[in-house]
Amino acid sequence: MLRIDKLMLAAALSCAALAGGARADGTVEVLHWWTSGGEAKAVGELKQAFEAEGGKWIDSPIAGGGGDAAMTALRARVMAGNPPTAVQLKGPGIQEWAEQGALNDVQDVAEVGNWDSVLPPALAKIMKYEGKYVAAPVNIHRVDWIWASPEALKKAGVEAMPTTWEEFNAAADKLQDAGLIALAHGGQPWQDATLFETVVLGIGGADFYRKALVELDDAALRSDTMIASFDQLRKLRSYVDPNFSGRDWNLATGMVMRGEAGFQIMGDWAKGEFLAAGKVPGEDFLCASTPGNGFILNSDSFTFFKVSGEDNLKGQKVLARLIMSPEFQKVFNLAKGSIPARTDVPLDDFDICAKRSHEDLLAAIENDTLVPSMAHEMAVPRSVRGEFLDLVTQFFNSDMSSQDATTRLADAVQRAM
């Protein structure tokens, strides 16, 4: 009798310990780089949804557009044996960390939620390692956008958004003649590379883009088309203001918002900034794809690092489930400027730029002109991307000729492969 009492007491105590120690819906420490106005609003939606389920959210933002600083911080945390529970990570980077055995899978959550049937297959593939989901996608961003100030265009007598690079240059000349900044730009390597890849797509087309920036084909990298792309990048360099160096991308968006600059070439996270400031697309600002045919894809996702403890493991699963819920995909993307990663979320409440993005995405899939972003870590390993960024930035900040840039880029890529 006494033994049974003891056993019951022990069982009761361990239940109490569980209830007290492990929260019902877990804890997550989330490492991300979403610190601008629109970005913070969007990640706030995820925090709020997680907390509404009773979970504990520990925020670890690492400022720096494009995420280079965040990735450096992540490496340091993993080296120190103290990875965050969830990390904003994407493209080949997901596979790189998975190969090192650093990630937990969330396959059970994915099966219950039927992720395979609601994600575009190309995206689902990026999220999986050895057939199991190790990441959950939050969105589909498009990189090849031009954002414009209708007020600045009007002042300069530019009547329509440019549809070719010649038209872009002519419009930019007019803006400069009117005393305005033609192109709002922040001189940071990832932003320079963002300009570069939109130009490569526009000048060379999707097949060329793929050969040069994804397959790293040596002949494509050394081709006349690449030289012509650098020529157009040089042209863009002549349209930025003298204070461009080091400027954050959202400050460049602000220049367009205030009508100081005519254009910004940037992914649709820039739209998140306009929206966070209460601006209306089609009225206060304009959107159009950069000249050329295609769609440069950039998708954000969260990965789940190998952490221990029931509380953390529970947190990872709850977060994965929330990220992929249709409700979250809607509210998050309304704030972020992107469109949902799930294909079954109605876009009725989304703006004209998002609808355009969706239509162009479907057309690009149909025409095989959908390409992954090199600048935003969707296309090539980090080491190769680093070579692209270094060279493009050197070109942008010197008088290097297009011919030299082409040769130096091809040599650098070859060394990195």
192 versus 300: smaller Cβ distance to ligand GAL: 300
Report CA torsion sign: 408, 413, 416, 417. negative
174 touches ligand GAL by CB under 6 A: no
- Nearest 10 degrees: Cα torsion 132, 143, 417, 135: -20
Name which of 238, 236, 221, 277 is nearest 37 in CA terms: 277
Name which of 232, 240, 182 is nearest 203 in CA terms: 232
In the complex, least distance from residue 298 CB atom to ligand GAL, rounded to whole angstroms: 5
39 touches ligand GAL by CB under 6 A: yes
Q: Taking contact as CB under 6 A, which single stretch among the options 31-39, 123-131, 162-170, 275-283 is the one that binds ligand GAL?
A: 31-39
Instruction: Kindly state the tokens that stand for 373.
Output: 């972003």
Cα(70)–Cα(78) distance, integer angstroms: 12
* CB-based closest residue to ligand GAL: 65
- Let me know if 400 is exposed, middle or buried by CB neighbors in 10 A (0-12, 13-18, 19+): middle
356 touches ligand GAL by CB under 6 A: no
Q: Taking contact as CB under 6 A, which single stretch among the options 33-41, 92-100, 289-297, 301-309 is the one that binds ligand GAL?
A: 33-41
Name which of 234, 235, 274, 257 is nearest 184 in CA terms: 257
Q: 178 — phi, psi (to 5°)? A: -85, 5
Task: Find the binding residues for ligand GAL in span 238-277 (CB under 6 A).
Answer: 249, 269
180 versus 392: smaller Cβ distance to ligand GAL: 392
Name which of 375, 405, 394 is nearest 222 in CA terms: 405
89 versus 158: smaller Cβ distance to ligand GAL: 89
In the complex, least distance from residue 141 CB atom to ligand GAL, rounded to whole angstroms: 6
Q: 26, 66, 84, 204: which one contacts ligand GAL (CB under 6 A)?
A: 66
In the complex, least distance from residue 189 CB atom to ligand GAL, rounded to whole angstroms: 12
Q: 25, 28, 33, 312: which one contacts ligand GAL (CB under 6 A)?
A: 33
Task: Find the binding residues for ligand GAL in span 307-336 (CB under 6 A).
Answer: none
Contact 202, 290 (CB under 8 A): yes
Q: 245 — phi, psi (to 5°)? A: -55, 125
Q: Contacts with ligand GAL: how many residues (CB under 6 A)?
A: 12
300 touches ligand GAL by CB under 6 A: yes
376 touches ligand GAL by CB under 6 A: yes
In the complex, least distance from residue 256 CB atom to ligand GAL, rounded to whole angstroms: 16
Q: What character string, x for contact with ligand GAL (CB under 6 A) and - otherwise, covers 138-167?
A: ---x--------------------------
In the complex, least distance from residue 276 CB atom to ligand GAL, rounded to whole angstroms: 13
Name which of 256, 267, 280, 272 is nearest 352 in CA terms: 280
Cα(148)–Cα(274) distance, integer angstroms: 11
In the complex, least distance from residue 68 CB atom to ligand GAL, rounded to whole angstroms: 9
43 versus 307: smaller Cβ distance to ligand GAL: 43
Q: Taking contact as CB under 6 A, which single stretch among the options 60-68, 220-228, 287-295, 360-368 is the one that binds ligand GAL?
A: 60-68
Chain residues in the site for ligand GAL (CB under 6 A): 33-34, 39, 65-67, 141, 249, 269, 298, 300, 376
